[in-house]
Amino acid sequence: MDQELKKELEKIATTIRGLSIEGVEKANSGHPGMPLGCAEIGAYLYGHLMRHNPKNPDWVGRDRLVLSAGHGSMWLYSCLHLAGFDLPMDELKNFRQLHSKTPGHPEFHMTPGVEATTGPLGQGIGNAVGQALGMKILAEKFNTEKFTLFNNKVYCLCGDGCLMEGISHEACSLAGHLGLDNFILIFDSNKITLDGPLAQSGSEDTAARFKAYGFDVFEMEANDIQQVDRCLSQVQSSQQKPTLVIAHTTIGFGSPNKADSHKVHGSPLGPEEIKLTKEALGIPEEDFYVPGSVITFFEEKQKRDLQAEGEWNQMFAAWKTENPELAKEFDAMINRTIPDSLEKELADLEMGKDSIAGRSASNKVLQKLGEALPFLYGGSADLSGSDKTMMETYPLIAPHDFKGRNIKYGVREFGMAAIAAGLFQTHMILPFVGTFLTFSDYMRNAVRLAALSGYHTFYQFTHDSIFLGEDGPTHQSVEHFAALRAIPKLHVFRPADSWEVKASWWAMLKYQGPSAIILSRQNLPELSQSRALSFENGVGRGGYILKKEKDQADYCLIATGSEVSLALDTATALERQGKQVRVVSMPCMDLFATQPKEYIDSVLGGNVGKRVSIEAGIAQGWHRWIGPDGITICMEGFGESAPASDLAQEFGFTVDAILNRLH
């Protein structure tokens, strides 16, 4: 390494340390240990190695950095500020304050240069694997012999906590299997966890673990900038496998009394220790000090960054001229363009049966969507034959072969959901994933982060209730409808027939956030009433009147999914008894709750005698719609192993059982 560059990068590392500890101190909250320990890594990546343009953080040709150890966010914010991203010094001074761009853990869309929402440990690794997979997909699709549009590297910085979480195994196992030779995982190996020395809770051979996955493994003393250069430059130039870099660091480096201790992990240094640390590192007393030479260094680097993107843009323009058909597909993918004709094509899609399982209807929809949307990629947690997520005309993605559009994630639900988020983060892929509804618990935290971050991802959950039958209560979902509906900004659909399945997919495409579609294993009758309204005016409003009473309604029956046909049959029986009945289908409570009060009142209001919910799940969430005096036809506990018809009798999901409850 050039000695002048070495000197400047060391100065940048010292600056990262100073900014980070002061941001934490001013907020009186945060994690100074990791930024102090990893400063050379940040200086080298942002000051030298990574190809990006801070003035255009969305440039698709960029390298990426995901901070999986999101508690060390001041490290990332300091790097982004110095590199020239739109993150002014005032934002560093407002660390962890209301409405700042520097929240306690990095959040996607909030801070320029932040590639993923991280903090729940290990998920950033899954996101980075998804980004790396996405880059391999895009390279396979768009690179030609003459032009290389995509050869991006995806770096991920993690700690012991990330590697302890099981999601790191799920994601890295798949990365090794697929041979993602653009993924570089940098492990901040400081032998300290939040609660004490690592030796108290872990003693595994991390290098052997990752070699078993199929990774190359390197080690470096990461508080020595020359060793960082020797290691990372070699990886960058000659990588042939996904790579783990074990970066030996000292947590709290430079702090005279707290370095190499868990006490520096998650609390401010304090004024006296700040003073001593600055003296030890040679940082002036001035708050949030940045040397003029560091400012000048990054101003020059930004010119080179701008030039690098300009050269890429020139290559891209030449590529478009020589590859017009590929260019059309590129534009469709980067804009995620939905054809104007697609809504009608979905509406006209024939199912060919009088009854069809929700999962089978959705599979037919996916075939149509796959044809129309080149950016749609899907996969399943080893259940594609059961959850019906396979796009049949497209091949599988396989080791070192990324031409396909179907991903076999294996039995890795949590990793699958985090990787799907990473695919979305490429800005050119719209991912869907599938598994049984009861396994949504395994992936719940990744679904939550998708909702928090606004990732446009789809979750196809099948085998939705006790009516899957003989597999029994271990696989029969009862609380999962409510659990998913409890996640803010996640749209949860439970369609009643194939028309509602089609309309649900249309609504999910239009919603710029995550959605879950919950589907039956068993056949559902086709409902002529559901087709009376357009996608927009029926399912698109979350809930709608399926059957209107003639005069004053004695009952308003509200149902979802497979229980909607039961509600209609119950209404017919009640009408034979001289009752007036309204039936409401509510495929998506989340959408219904966003409708104007006037619409909600028109569906559920009026002079209605009694509101009744019918759903083969727990009652939680229903009293918002039926009122405190409403009746819930629901599950009070877990299911049983038996045929579906026997379970309907056992748990009261028959017309006669409901009539007995109403009288």
> Under DSSP, is residue 222 helix (H, G, I), strand (E, B) or coil?
coil
Candidate list 40, 115, 273, 413, residue with the active-site label = 413
Residues sharing a CB contact under 8 Å with residue 238, sequence separation 6 or more, in sequence order: none
C-alpha separations of 598 from 594, 607, 630 in Å: 11, 15, 21
Tokens of 240: 């042939």
Strands (E), 499-654: 515-518, 523-525, 544-547, 555-559, 581-585, 610-614, 631-633
Tokens of 295: 């400012």
* 585: phi then psi, degrees, rounded to nearest 5: -95, 130
Rounded distance between C-alpha atoms, residue 607 and residue 631, angstroms = 17
Contact between 615 and 622 under an 8 Å Cβ cutoff? The reply is: yes
Tokens of 354: 């009088």
Tokens of 648: 């309907």
Half-sphere exposure of 6 (CA within 13 A, CB side): 11
Q: What angle is formed at CA 633 by the lines to CA 630 and CA 635, rounded to 5 degrees?
A: 125
Measured over the CA atoms of residue 25, residue 29, residue 33 and residue 38, the dihedral's sign is: negative
413 labelled catalytic: yes
User: What is the per-residue burial (b if ≥16 Cβ within 10 Å, else e) of 474-496?
Assistant: ebbbbebbbbbbebeebbbbbbb
The gap between the terminal CA atoms of the chain, to the nearest Å, is: 85
Long-range contacts of 527-535 (CB under 8 A, 24+ apart): 527/496, 527/497, 527/499, 527/564, 527/565, 527/568, 529/568, 529/583, 530/496, 530/497, 530/499, 530/500, 530/585, 531/499, 534/347, 535/343, 535/346, 535/347, 535/502, 535/503, 535/506, 535/507
DSSP bridge pairs for 156: 66, 185
Residues sharing a CB contact under 8 Å with residue 486, sequence separation 6 or more, in sequence order: 621
Q: How many helices (H) and strands (E) does the chain have?
A: 26, 20
User: What is the per-residue burial (b if ≥16 Cβ within 10 Å, else e) of 168-190?
Assistant: bbbbbbbbbebbbbbbbbbbbbb
Biggest alpha carbon distance in the chain?
Answer: 93
Tokens of 512: 């710029």
Rg of the chain, C-alpha, whole Å: 28
Half-sphere exposure of 219 (CA within 13 A, CB side): 9
Rounded distance between C-alpha atoms, residue 413 and residue 415, angstroms = 6
Return the closest-CA partner of residue 21 out of 230, 284, 288, 294.
288
Annotated active-site positions, please?
413
